[in-house]
Amino acid sequence: MAQQLPPGFRALIAAQFFSALADNALLIVCIALLIERGLPAWWAPMLKFCFTIAYVVLAPFVGDLADAVPKGRLMMAMNAVKVLGVLGLLMGLNPLLALAVVGVGAAAYAPAKYGLVTELVPAPALVAANGWIEVTTVCAAVFGAVVGGVLISPGLMQWLSAPADWTPSTLGLWLLLALYAAAALLNLGIPDSGARYARQSRHPVAMASGFWRAQRRLWADELGALSMAVTTLFWGAAAVLQFAVLRWATDVLGLPLNQGAYLQAAVAVGIVAGAMAAGRWVPLSRAERVLPLGVLMGVAVPLATQAGQWWMALPALLLVGALGGALVVPLNALLQYRGHVLLSAGRSIAVQNFNENASVLVMLAVYAALLAADLPVSTLMSGLGVLVGLCMAALWWRRVRTQARARAAA
């Protein structure tokens, strides 16, 4: 399968790795910044909330934008927007506003990145290609959490002899600028796929209307709706789990923030392993058969909260991640394939991003509200796992019923 992946795809995954690495490290650095400023704990998930708003608000427009210009060039420009957000933090901009600026760059970056996958890679290799994309994205989350933890560690301040008036977050922000610059340079190696689409209206009302028609068309497709529902639920739950594990590591296991970030990376390591396994052994034609893994993932989350020591939590969190990676990669590939068939590459990814990030916004808002109400984080994590397990079981049952009716009618 690897032989079917074109050379331009390698440049794509390298560029997106460094950009995602900086995004994930930035989140840890901003949490440290909140702590330095004495802001309440529920502000932490609001960082991700503000980062994600642009994905939802700009969804009707960024798909057409990605289809209108060479996608590699657009990705490089969006890295520049992210740099503006980091510079804003260094100049004292409110962290929530700065993350919203970075989110604008990320929102336009995503449909260009995933749209290139469907343009550069033939359909039989899409699961393998998505496996690589998800592996590098999650590797960026793993190393991003680790890099973020290192950037805010007192040892780095001493080793680099940072100015006395700098805080760990200040040093981290300056180093993150170098990561975003590296990502921008790597985008120069991404080729133009040559794909061209019919010119769409640039009037905002017409673009929004076309987006909602695309939304309805993808949800009306049996396989498109199934895969969209799974990925929407998964990424919303994953966003909450990202913050819940950090809070759980500090509240229950007694770890400092930089060490909690390393434990958070265990989930991402598991996702890498599961994504690699799915990319190797699950063909696109059998993508829907991984639905039971979602039920198991939901069960594994409450079990992980029973650990009282970090070494007990580690294998449980690895298992949660592995089940999630094996679940989401085949269904993400199926969703992208159906979206590419029914719509354009950029617009289908924009529709996908809208749904997945609307889920992230809703679930993070609920999580932040429950944190503000002082609900124990272990209870929150257990409830999240039960919710995911029940929803996945319902989707699995519905698919089995649909297939049974189809066989009876044949």
Please name the residue that has the structure tokens 């709706």.
Answer: 225
The reported pLDDT for the residue numbered 6 is 72
Asked, for residue 410, whether it belongs to a domain, the answer is no
Q: Is residue 399 classed as helix, strand or coil in its secondary structure?
A: helix
- As given in the structure block, the two tokens for residue 55 are 């994905």
Dihedral through CA 231, CA 237, CA 239, CA 245, nearest 10? -140
Over the Cα atoms of the chain, what is R_g?
21
Q: What is the residue range of 40's domain?
A: 6-189+202-402
Does 196 map to a domain? Answer: no
* pLDDT for position 198: 53
Residue 142: which of 275, 21, 18 has the closest Cα? 21
Average pLDDT, consecutive stretches of 10 residues, N- to C-terminus, the chain (410 residues): 63 86 90 86 86 85 74 84 93 91 88 76 73 75 79 77 78 89 82 59 71 89 92 91 87 81 79 83 85 94 86 89 90 85 74 88 91 89 94 93 83
Q: The domain that contains 287 carries what CATH number? A: 1.20.1250.20
Q: If you ran DSSP here, which 8-state letter would residue 89 be given?
A: H
For residue 88, the number of C-alpha atoms closer than 13 Å in the C-beta half-sphere is: 18
Instruction: Extract the tokens encoding 8.
Output: 């331009």
The CA distance from 232 to 237, in Å, is 9
Three-state SS at 121: coil
pLDDT value for 345: 61
Structure tokens at 205: 């009302």
Query: If 0-12 CB within 10 Å is exposed, 13-18 middle and 19+ buried, where does residue 215 land?
Result: buried
Residue 408 lies in a domain: no
Task: Tell me the CA end-to-end span of the chain in Å, nearest whole number.
Answer: 34
What pLDDT shows up at residue 266?
Answer: 82
In terms of C-beta density within 10 A (0-12 exposed, 13-18 middle, 19 or more buried), how is residue 95 classed? buried
- Encoded tokens for 373: 């109400």
What is the pLDDT at residue 226?
A: 93
- Are 187 and 79 in contact by the 8 Å Cβ rule? The answer is yes
pLDDT for the residue numbered 3: 45
Q: Is 320 part of a structural domain of the chain?
A: yes
When divided into structural domains, the chain yields a total of: 1
- What is the value of pTM for the model shown? 0.73
> Domain for residue 301, yes or no?
yes
CB 189 within 8 A of CB 14: yes
Whether 97 is covered by a domain: the verdict is yes
